[in-house]
């Protein structure tokens, strides 16, 4: 059994748990610490340190990040402090914890977990995980291998003859802000999914994020050619995917 600590950095909370990367199972209850106000890098590093200490963990640590991560460097910062941009976050968190830390994008982590242990298990073709929440996150996998940092929530759609960023039109946050019915939101989501289909011809869509918990309200109204399922691992996907990624570095 290979035990890796997985940590998921979110906008409101930073959560962690040790993971058996052979099975994808959490080996204890998740422990959550509120995300520090402003989510500055050194403040978040302190929380990651506290999580490592809480679990008395020694060894590799996988951490998700809500932005682009390339070779351990964070290149964007949508919902955290802009000081993350261009930061060698692997190095920062490794020094803060005294353990080897490996970072990856949060949607990519969820995609890895779903491909290995969840709704995409056994799929050999092109699998696309899309998380509909505050924004739209994406993870693209082929034969179980991740193509990182796709950021497909930032695709542009032609909406009423105006170029519109997908996540500013079809995210779950927009559904709530504009008080859209689930049927109306499903029409927007369908338009977005059809655009992604045109670009990538996936074999399977896995839908995660907040909407995945209420699939009965919208799934029957989705119109796309690609087979579509909801995510299986729910709130554990980021933690499991982070641990899995760290175990394979």
Structure confidence at residue 11 as a pLDDT band (50, 70, 90):
confident
Is the pLDDT at 30 greater than 90? The verdict is yes
- Tokens found for residue 63: 């951490």
* Confidence label for 50 from pLDDT (cuts 50, 70 and 90): very high
* Distant-in-sequence, close-in-space partners of 214: CB < 8 Å, separation ≥ 6: 182
Distances 43 to 11, 33, 96 between C-alpha atoms, Å: 13, 12, 10
Nearest Cα neighbor of 31 from 11, 46, 48 is 48
Model pTM score = 0.94
Domains and their CATH numbers in the chain: 3-109+242-247 (3.30.420.40), 122-231 (3.30.420.40)
Residue 98 DSSP SS3: coil
pLDDT in tens, 148-193: 999 999 999 999 899 999 999 999 999 999 999 999 999 999 999 9
pLDDT of 78 higher than 90:
no
CA-to-CA separations, 24 to 9, 229, 238, in angstroms, rounded: 19, 19, 11
Q: Dump pLDDT digits (tens) for 205-219.
A: 999 999 999 999 999
pLDDT of residue 235: 86
pLDDT of residue 249: 85
Rg of the chain over all Cα atoms, to the nearest angstrom: 18
- Mean pLDDT for the chain? 96
Contacts 24+ apart (CB under 8 A), 213-222: 214/182, 217/182, 218/182, 218/183, 218/185, 218/186, 218/189, 221/182, 221/183, 221/186, 221/187, 221/190, 222/186, 222/189, 222/190, 222/193
Helix (H) or strand (E) holding 128, with range, is strand 126-132
211 near 218, Cβ under 8 Å? yes
């Amino acid at each position: 059994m290979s035990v890796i600590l997985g940590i998921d950095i979110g906008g409101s909370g930073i959560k962690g748990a040790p993971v058996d990367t052979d099975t994808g199972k959490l080996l204890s209850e998740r422990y959550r610490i509120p995300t520090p106000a402003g989510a500055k890098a050194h403040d978040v590093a302190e929380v990651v340190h506290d999580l490592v200490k809480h679990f008395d963990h020694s060894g590799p640590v996988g951490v998700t990040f809500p932005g682009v991560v390339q070779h351990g460097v964070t290149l964007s910062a949508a919902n955290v402090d802009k000081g993350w941009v261009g930061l060698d976050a692997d190095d920062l968190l490794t020094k803060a914890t005294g353990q080897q830390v490996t970072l990856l994008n949060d949607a990519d982590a969820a995609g890895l977990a779903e491909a290995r242990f969840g709704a995409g298990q056994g799929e050999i073709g092109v699998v696309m995980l899309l998380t509909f929440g505050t924004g739209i996150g994406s993870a693209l996998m082929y034969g179980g291998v991740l193509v990182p940092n796709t950021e497909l929530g930032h695709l542009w759609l032609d909406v009423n003859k105006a170029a519109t960023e997908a996540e500013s039109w079809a995210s779950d946050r927009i559904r709530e802000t504009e008080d859209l019915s689930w049927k109306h939101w499903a029409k927007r989501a369908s338009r977005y999914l059809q655009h992604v289909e045109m670009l990538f011809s996936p074999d399977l869509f896995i839908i995660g994020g907040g909407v995945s918990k209420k699939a009965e309200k919208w799934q029957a109204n989705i119109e796309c050619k690609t087979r579509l399922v909801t995510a299986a691992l729910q709130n554990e996907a980021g933690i499991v995917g982070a641990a899995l990624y760290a175990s394979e570095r």
